[in-house]
Structure 1
Amino acid sequence: MITFNVNGINLSCDSFGDNHADTVLLLAGLGTQMIRWPVLFCERLVAKGYRVIRFDNRDAGCSSHFTDHPAPDFAALAASHSAGQRPNVPYTLFDMANDAMGLLDALGIPRAHLVGRSMGGMIAQIAASEYPQRVLSLTSIMSSTGNPNLPSASPEVMAMLTKPAPDPRRDEAGFLAHKLAFARRIASPGYPFDEEYHRTLILEETKRVYDPSSVGRQMGAIVAAGDLRPLLAKITVPSLIVHGADDALIPAACGRDTASSIQDSTFMLIDGMGHDLPPSLFETVVDGIDRVARPSD
């Protein structure tokens, strides 16, 4: 793992493959760390001939955290979103897109293929719109446009997302049960749920850094970014939109809206996929990334 100072904060990343190959930059989702992009997934991209960079977003993992700023109240965020108002937040997705470009600068990479999942997909969308000279292609997975008219997760799923988990330092079993229940609820119903894999991942993330307030701040960044559709209309790079037909957190209509907002984009709807990326789908998604990255090959 390497850490760079970017935009006045520290960003931690690691790299796979040949440093001289075309780069795929992987952007993580809400409240998750770069290790949510499994090594096996990265290695499959390397086998296609890419260099792969994954990194911890600001307020996640081993990158800088904004602990001086309290997490916004979830009810207040929801009210701001419904009213079309910008909440008072320490940063937005636009700042996080700037981070991604700053990290490429620090690594000496002029242009890259961007692949983002969930919140990371929205960050990648912004970067592709705002920095077209830096982006070779865009793949947005299980993400959305911020369109306020789109359907949202059910109240039950939102309650599971926003309910505080037990402190793992005092109640590890309760913490794991809480996290595993949510992971299972949003997982892909068409594919086996590997509880041991998820348990290990949750514990590894917690061991790297435990900061429950960061999720609220990142949610604030999403709300503050607003409706991205006017930006998406400006995207000209080859774009792939991947979404699960059975996504319980960000419904498939959100993926369709993303695809319809980006001219000439390709929409890949995967039956049985929820709001996760099971190993059985690695090959499918990697092949899709490769096709959009090399459309003329």
Structure 2
Amino acid sequence: MKVQANGIEIEVEDTGGAGRPVVLLIMGLNMQLIAWPDNFVKGLVRAGFRVVRFDNRDAGLSTQLDEAGTRNLLWQGLRYRFGLPVQSAYGLQDMANDAIGVLDALGIRRAHVLGASMGGMIAQRVAATVPERVTSLVSLMSSSGARGLPGPRRDVVALMMRRPAKRDEASLVAHSMRLVRLIAGPFYPPDEAALRERLTLAMRRAYRPQGLMRQIAAVAADTGRVKLLARITSPTLVMHGDVDPLVPIACGQDTVRRIAGAQFVAIPGMGHDLTPQLTEILLPQMVPFLKAAEKSRTA
């Protein structure tokens, strides 16, 4: 279903029913709400939570902002390297306001906010902006945004910058599969058939290459978030794979250092993907944290 949030239309999936504590899931760069594994969502519902997922702006079925245009990413990357402001069509704070708007549209006063990768950055901003509405924060395979942290491996950057020669569906899916396999790492490789099916479904649901470029610019422009982390008062869990080639584990370690009382869990062998196998590892550590935060709030 679509809701009006922060002046745009946001596609939302609401699972688990009213009367339960809410977990708001925020996905990462150019990813859609369907990128959350089914067993992850079902696991949270079985644990007693209402799960709200949504497509970020410029992704999936939410509002596409093509009228804003795109910036030259190479030029913006050079500006970032030399400490100059990066120009973006919108910022991660706008995307955080979208998430808050989703809660407003659904009449949800408080929620556990869980974000993956760029979604973790957005979740951090939500927790810093409306602390009274965030029961807990889970930042998964994300970063504080501090300067000087290590970036993606060179082979990952090279593949991300490469575009397939053909633009047909099969070529685009094959390219995406190569990237997912690379960032997932060798220890929890995605099932090939399931990965192809997932990426084909996502491609047919919505293909937004220009939105990807605008989201990349928004992440690069978000240099002030690191100063906001000290404002976060919600119980916080930071989880990160120790072989993440896209957002290295040092980024998660820096995040936990900057949030008072935050807990850190390193996941051995985890790269930068959520496979069903990893879901079975993550949930047993997430769910007790969420329930403890909920109990503390209502005590």
Q: Percent same amino acid among aligned pairs?
A: 41
Equivalent residue for 1:183, pick from 168, 180, 183: 180
Equivalent residue for 1:243, pick from 240, 244, 259: 240
Paired residue type of 1:261: R
Partner residue in 1 for 2:118: 119
Answer with 19-28 or 75-84: which moved more: 75-84
Report the Cα distance in structure 1 between the residues aligned to 2:102 and 2:148, rounded to whole angstroms.
34
Matched, 1:83 2:82: yes
Shift of 1:202: 1.0
Report the Cα distance in structure 2 between the residues aligned to 1:226 and 1:123, rounded to whole angstroms.
13
Answer with 121-130 or 182-191: which moved more: 182-191
Report the Cα distance in structure 1 between the residues aligned to 2:7 and 2:165, rounded to whole angstroms.
32
Which structure has the highest helix share of the two? 2
Deviations 1:157-213 (A, max 9, x none): 112113234554xx2332222111101100142124211111111111111111211
Partner residue in 1 for 2:72: 73
Report the Cα distance in structure 2 between the residues aligned to 1:220 and 1:236, rounded to whole angstroms.
28
Deviations 1:226-265 (A, max 9, x none): 1422111111111000100010100010010111111111
Within-5 A mapping of 1:119-268: 119-166=118-165, 168=167, 171-268=168-265
Deviations 1:98-149 (A, max 9, x none): 0000000000000100000000000000110111011110000000011110
Cα contact 1:126–1:231 (8 A) shared by 2:
yes
Cα contact 2:145–2:223 (8 A) shared by 1:
yes
Partner residue in 1 for 2:38: 39
Answer with 222-231 or 143-152: which moved more: 222-231
Shift of 1:287: 2.6
Structure 1 unaligned runs (5+)?
A: none
Cα contact 1:81–1:223 (8 A) shared by 2:
yes
Matched, 1:295 2:292: yes
What is the total number of aligned residue pairs between the two structures?
Answer: 294
Report the Cα distance in structure 2 between the residues aligned to 1:293 and 1:47, rounded to whole angstroms.
13
Report the 3-state secondary structure (helix = DSSP H, G, I; strand = E; otherwise coil) of the residue aligned with 2:63: coil
Report the Cα distance in structure 2 between the residues aligned to 1:165 and 1:237, rounded to whole angstroms.
43
Matched, 1:23 2:26: no
Report the Cα distance in structure 2 between the residues aligned to 1:176 and 1:148, rounded to whole angstroms.
33
Report the 3-state secondary structure (helix = DSSP H, G, I; strand = E; otherwise coil) of the residue aligned with 1:233: helix
Report the Cα distance in structure 2 between the residues aligned to 1:114 and 1:166, rounded to whole angstroms.
39
Cα contact 1:31–1:215 (8 A) shared by 2:
yes
TM-score w.r.t. length of structure 1: 0.95
Cα contact 2:144–2:254 (8 A) shared by 1:
yes
TM-score w.r.t. length of structure 2: 0.94
Cα contact 1:118–1:142 (8 A) shared by 2:
yes
Structure 2 unaligned runs (5+)?
A: none
Report the Cα distance in structure 2 between the residues aligned to 1:96 and 1:256, rounded to whole angstroms.
24
Report the Cα distance in structure 2 between the residues aligned to 1:290 and 1:84, rounded to whole angstroms.
40
Paired residue type of 1:21: R
Cα contact 2:14–2:53 (8 A) shared by 1:
yes
Answer with 76-85 or 86-95: which moved more: 76-85
RMSD (Å), alpha carbons: 1.4
Cα contact 2:120–2:139 (8 A) shared by 1:
yes
Report the Cα distance in structure 1 between the residues aligned to 2:228 and 2:191, rounded to whole angstroms.
38
Report the 3-state secondary structure (helix = DSSP H, G, I; strand = E; otherwise coil) of the residue aligned with 2:66: coil
Report the 3-state secondary structure (helix = DSSP H, G, I; strand = E; otherwise coil) of the residue aligned with 2:270: coil
Shift of 1:84: 2.5
Report the Cα distance in structure 2 between the residues aligned to 1:154 and 1:280, rounded to whole angstroms.
24
Moved over 6 A (4+): none
